[in-house]
Amino acid sequence: MFAMNDQISERQAMRLITFDLLGYSAIMIPSTLAKDAGRDGIFGIVLGTFGGFLYLLLLRAVLRKMDGDYETYLERSFGVFPGLILRLFYAVFFLFLAGKVAAVFAELVVKELLKKQFRLILGIILVLVFYGITVGIEGRARVYEILFWILLLPLFIMFLCALPTVDADYWTPVFTEKTTAVLNGAYHVFLCFFALCLIPFLAEFVHDKEKLYRSGRNALFLVGTILFVLYLILLGMFGDRALSTIEYPAVTMMSRVQITGGFLKRTDAIMFGIWFFTLFALLCSLLFFGERLLRGLFKRCSRETFCKNAGFWCTVLVTAAVYGLADTFYRNESFSQLFENFFWYVGIPFTVLVPCFLLIRKKGRTAVLLLFCLFLNGCMPTEVEDREFPVALTVSTDTEQFAKEWLDTLVSGNKKVDYNHLKVIIIERKYLEQPEKMSGLLTLLKQEKSVPLNAYVVTTEDADALEKAEEKLDKPLGNYVEELLERSDEIKKETYPTIGMLYQEKENCMETLFIPYLSLVDEKPEVVAYEAYKRGEAEGLFETDTALLSFFVADRMKKYELQLAVNQYVELSNTKNEITFAKEREKSGRVKKQVRVAVCCDGKILYQTYSENEEETKEWLKQQIAEYMTQKTKAALERKIDLTNSRKKLGGSMREWYDYYQTHEKAYEEEIEVVYDVTINWTE
């Protein structure tokens, strides 16, 4: 049995501070930082974390001078009345912060999981928080000590799962934003570390104040590292433009990760569970210290004996006040904006300046809580038996009609449609090739949180024909098409476009995607061609061989089989291709811009006619492969499609070209020439 002595260990303090810092910062920083500083936002995280460390050093100096708790130290340093005013400011500030965090918390639950009943969800959350703060800081510290690795290990595993979807080309170029933009982003990061200002109040619960400082320092650097990695992953997944438009990218990032088979499409719900507990921890801390400060003020100012039950009712009133604040933040945008300005220009500067002036002035029921929290993890108002789970979605009408027929429909009487397990979206070509309609569709699907971003996108001439063909399949159409794409022995599954990839390309305008084109072959859907989707617009059908070459250059082919002549077949694998850029001046004086693709791979001759000289045959095959790739790429460039997707790499490899084509976007494919240099390690 644990002793209740209002003291926590250094390790418990570190884990408590980590949870307080991690949740809100991971939720709010990525999209805001992408708006402020784009790709240079990564430097904002470094600077913001360093600013947090300087603030910790300031608090460390204050902690060394403190004798007793922080509230008493304020009164002794500034005088009784000014000390009471400062304590009141801290208390009100913490409660307003709690209201803001609670509003974000409940809004996150509503938008990502339950879809409605904000006030009910907010009420349930605050009831849980009320219970959390009544058990005291020791009880919560022990829970966080247990949950620490239970939450962080899945987070690290999800980071590893997301790595295959990261495109490093989205990380460059850097040093493109103004210094003021990066500093603005750094201050945003520092603002989201506001939980550091709770450390002086935590001092009375940690016996050794130096240990408290170390706990805060270790927690800050751990959270800073997590944010650094998280931002790189999100930037590589979405690109800076798309990232800046996603409301909660830290939650939705796992919806881009492909997990083969089964019903596990909404992996973002797992990520939500991590942020649920961290936001809960921060909300408990803010309410705990806010209520404690107000209760102390009441006892300090009241001449009568403080009622034994007054502490309980004070907690009730404070929780009710936070409920009202959170509801106001959620429903009144101007009030929310007013508080954000106050937070930016007054609140955080206040928490920094007060310690500065202090230095220069001379004078066991936790299992029930966890079980209750599980009821919030992904439940919908409609029971499972009252919902339909479509695995394929067809789009063949205008956006308004689509919304009416699909996203707001009722199926089989009172059954609701649940798109959480959607696998494939089938878009007719006549719809896909209308940019305005596609823009509206992508916006609609982005707003509809139940549609997973990792649902594959395919196109066809007649979606109705595919739906009718489902009757002759041994499984639902969505499952069949997903397996058709993923069972390929040649193409990596992350190559195929998803609805999330289409949305981010609409924002980033950096690359060409090839959308599988389905047609019925022997009354079954098959991929017979690919639709090029460049910078948010469809550019027409291309034969399968052309798309496969683009996949091969991007190292997205497990193996690449080529027929170079009537009786000449080769297989290429283990590719390590590299794209570089160069200028070549012709005799006429014209400068030719070259994209050079160094192809390095293993080769295997599958079938060939008889030849006496094997080395000559292999050299001839290598030349034929280079010629084949050159001709295919040249033909695609004539249709304004670059199979190498080299424009994505300009930021990190050819800054001069990158800056030029930012304002001459459509000229890129017209002005480049692609040259292949093929090196093959022939195997038996």
Structure tokens at 674: 């692609």
Q: Report pLDDT for 233.
A: 93
Q: Residue 29's pLDDT band (boundaries 50, 70, 90)?
A: very high
**Phi and psi (nearest 5°) for 485?**
-75, -40
Structure tokens at 389: 């789970």
CA separation (Å) from 509 to 181, 298, 622?
Answer: 22, 59, 34
Q: Report pLDDT for 405.
A: 61
Distance, CA of 377 to CA of 379 (rounded, Å): 6
Q: Report pLDDT for 234.
A: 93
CA 336 to chain centre: 24
Specify whether the CB–CB gap between 364 and 143 falls below 8 A.
no
Which residue is it, tokens 């549609």? 451
- In the predicted structure, residue 408 carries a pLDDT above the cut 70: no
Distance, CA of 548 to CA of 649 (rounded, Å): 20
Distance, CA of 637 to CA of 630 (rounded, Å): 10
Q: Is residue 258 helix, strand or coil?
A: coil
Q: Report pLDDT for 259.
A: 56
Q: Which residues pair with 571 in a beta bridge?
A: 561, 604
- In the predicted structure, residue 157 carries a pLDDT above the cut 80: yes
Q: Report pLDDT for 364.
A: 36
Comparing 107-111, 123-127, 199-203, 300-304, the range with the smallest average pLDDT is 300-304
Q: What share of the chain is helix, strand, coil (3-state, %, to 5)?
A: 65, 15, 20
Q: Is residue 457 helix, strand or coil?
A: strand
Q: Do domains 10-374 and 558-684 have the same CATH topology?
A: no
Comparing 104-113, 406-415, 542-551, 604-613, the range with the smallest average pLDDT is 406-415
Packing angle, helices 366-374 and 268-301, rounded to 10: 130
Q: Which residues fall within 8 angstroms of residue 196, CB to CB, at 6 or more apart?
A: 17, 21, 52, 55, 56, 59, 216, 220
* Greatest mean pLDDT range, 134-138, 476-480, 675-679: 675-679
Query: If you count them, how many residues does the chain have?
Result: 684
Mean pLDDT computed over every residue of the chain? 83
Distance, CA of 593 to CA of 595 (rounded, Å): 7
What is the enclosing helix (H) or strand (E) of 143?
helix 136-162
pLDDT tens readout for residues 342-372: 998 899 999 999 998 888 764 433 333 333 3
CA 197 to chain centre: 27
Comparing 214-218, 272-276, 285-289, the range with the smallest average pLDDT is 272-276
For the segment 603-632, the average pLDDT, to the nearest whole number, is 83
Structure tokens at 191: 């603002």
Q: Report pLDDT for 186.
A: 93
**Per the confidence metrics, is the pTM higher than 0.95?**
no
Give the residue with greater pLDDT, 530 vs 242: 530
- In the predicted structure, residue 403 carries a pLDDT above the cut 70: no
CATH code for the part of the protein at 10-374: 1.20.1740.10
Q: Report pLDDT for 262.
A: 47
Listed by start position, the domains of the chain span: 10-374, 382-553, 558-684
Q: Report pLDDT for 3.
A: 44
Comparing 187-201, 238-252, 298-312, 411-425, the range with the smallest average pLDDT is 298-312
Structure tokens at 163: 């790595």
Q: Report pLDDT for 429.
A: 92
Distance, CA of 101 to CA of 312 (rounded, Å): 23
CATH code for the part of the protein at 558-684: 3.30.300.210
Q: Which residues pair with 387 in a beta bridge?
A: 416
Other C-beta atoms closer than 10 Å to the C-beta of 371 total 9
CA separation (Å) from 506 to 243, 419, 500?
Answer: 12, 23, 10
Which is it for strands 512-521 and 410-411: parallel, antiparallel or unpaired? unpaired
Comparing 112-121, 297-306, 397-406, 573-582, the range with the smallest average pLDDT is 297-306
Q: Report pLDDT for 285.
A: 92
User: Taking the CA of residue 441 as centre, how many other CA atoms within 13 Å lie in the half-sphere pointing to its CB?
Assistant: 28
pLDDT tens readout for residues 214-257: 999 999 999 999 999 999 999 998 888 888 888 888 887 776 66
Q: Report pLDDT for 412.
A: 44
pLDDT tens readout for residues 448-458: 667 788 889 99
Q: Of 30, 58, 22, which is closest to residue 218 (Cα–Cα)? A: 22
pLDDT tens readout for residues 317-331: 889 999 999 999 998
Q: Report pLDDT for 375.
A: 41
Q: Report pLDDT for 381.
A: 45
